[in-house]
Structure 1
Amino acid sequence: MARAKEDYRSLTGPQKAALFLLSLGEEHSARLFSLMDDEEIKEISQVMAALGTVNAALVERLFIEFADAISATGSLVGTYESTERLLMKALPKDRVANIMEEIRGPAGRTMWDKLGNVNEQVLANYFKNEYPQTVAVVLSKIKVDHAARVLALLPENFSMEVIMRMLRMESVQKEVLDGVEKTLRTEFMSNLARTNRRDSHELIADIFNNLDRNSENRFMSALEERNRESAERIKALMFTFEDLVRLDAQGVQTLLRHVEKDKLALALKGASDPIKEMFFKNMSERAGKMLREDMEAMGPVRLREVDEAQALIVTLAKELANSGQIVISEGREEDELVY
């Protein structure tokens, strides 16, 4: 433990938490302990008891890091997986499953809002096997432009049956609407959320992104021998740490607010000069100096650890892109920004 008390970079998460709680004082620490479960309290207490005397500079560094994280907007990144784990601690399993199916589906406050965000081809394929009267009810409830696109994709005879029923349809009874909505929710929306229709090449590209370099090269070489077309398609879909150069300045700064500093230092140890320059250019002079010092103090590092750190940052960048917080251009001319 002596080294942990002197070298900030070697502190573990529990050690940082223990130091932080000790620094807050009894009253505030007690309130935080009351929010933890028994295992968390036990782990932090054991670490706290073994800390001994801690250098004041190390405590100051801890609070600087904490202040930087708190002052950054949106410093937490939520995912479907983390949300599901949180819900599982508070709700029954079957209820969590229903909630996750709901939120994994298309966005919208009501069922009709959600349908408005479903691709028209997907809706048309589903409606082909439904009664014309049911389709007429649904099309009368969603936005007219979306209804028009769906209608155009239905078989002609079937679409005319739907149109005739819409013409003859008067006010729909609440019981009928409730029944249609329930059917859509239990059959269509739940299946849509579960299947999630991912392209197989995209799935393999994501898996390859999380392999170490040796394994990735080995699998890619073998795939090129068996199916060069698929290999090239997967290469095009893969997003690596070096591809972060496609971020604009605002995107880099957003990513910096979310990434753990020790992971960034480790990832940059094995990065190209353009990537390093991109990150340092978007940091304050003080933050850049601290990061360079951390990188130098690391000395030689294992390639596997660099790969893991880079993969974590790539995953974070994808999550931020999926939530609309950053934009990753495709590198084409039409993606270039004009000022």
Structure 2
Amino acid sequence: MAAERSIATRNSGNRDSDATSYGGVTTIAEMNGPQRAAVILLVLGEDHGRTIWQEFDDEEIRIITRAMAELGTVDADEVERLMLDFVGRLSSAGAVTGSFDRTISLLEKILPSDQVALIMEEIRGPAGRNMWQKLGNIDAVVLANFLKNEYPQTIAVILSKIRAEHAANVLRNLPNELSIDVVSRMLRMESVQKEALDHIENTLRTEFVSTLTQTRRRDPHEMMAEIFNGFDRQTEIRFLAALDDSNQESAARIRALMFTFEDLGKLDPAALQTLMRQVDKDTLARALKGASEDMRNFFFGAMSQRATKNMQDDMQGLGPLRLKEVDEAQAKMVALTKDLADKGEIVLAKGNSEDELVY
């Protein structure tokens, strides 16, 4: 979310800087940060922009909503130029390293010194603040690789403090004998003294979480793939075609990372049956109405002959559908599939055997 936040806040102090407008149509030539963020959020809409909105504080929301309300009309070419510029900036960004001192230095150039002091005091705060939440967001394999070198009792304490589901995934990735020892210690564990818990938290902060924070950087192409997944088909084609002309390598990487309706054809039989039980029949009928013959046959293969005949009748009964209606139905199925994967009910594989992604 850092990229969206930087766009939203860049130039936000310059409230008098307005986009150039001719005949009521706004261009991006002199757009400030909040205006550019407003355009991107309008393109994303309610569903796909929700998580970004949730990252803003009240003041940022006020700035962006004002910019959005006063934006006027931005034509398709201007929107395309803005999005391509955004993608280009993300793709060309180098690695960054964060530290306490560097953060203070940056904030003091942007915010009042007293506000900076309050923010950094919150971060510096008592040992362990938000530590267990941070561990809960770290990949289970990464966490297990770190913990396997710790004492079993220490591992037991740590796993007892994080979400049960995440602890299970960490245990699954520990060496077998070590994981059994940890489980035994967790079963016998009594209350942990505050001093011992503080020591563990401080060790995690200095030896693991802070190092991980400094070195981890999300591939911007992953974020753009998620954004592109939210586009309708025509918008997706338009942006990818433009990227093919300006940055073919980035376009190829985004395509590889996107999860589309056609990727549902890679579901294993068990996952497909789970999806079929959850999806609304009308949504499935609309999605298959505009699907390829191969995709139709893939879904029909998971149905009985009678169910297939009923679905074909439902599809025929829909009559002509606008492409937008088909896109919306297929997007709902993709979203439902990802939701099922997030809940651990199915596993998604994408790409060839050497490039598998699990969402």
TM-score by length of structure 1 reads 0.47
TM-score by length of structure 2 reads 0.44
Larger RCO: 1 or 2 (CA < 8 Å, sep 6+): 1
Which one has a bigger Cα radius of gyration? 1
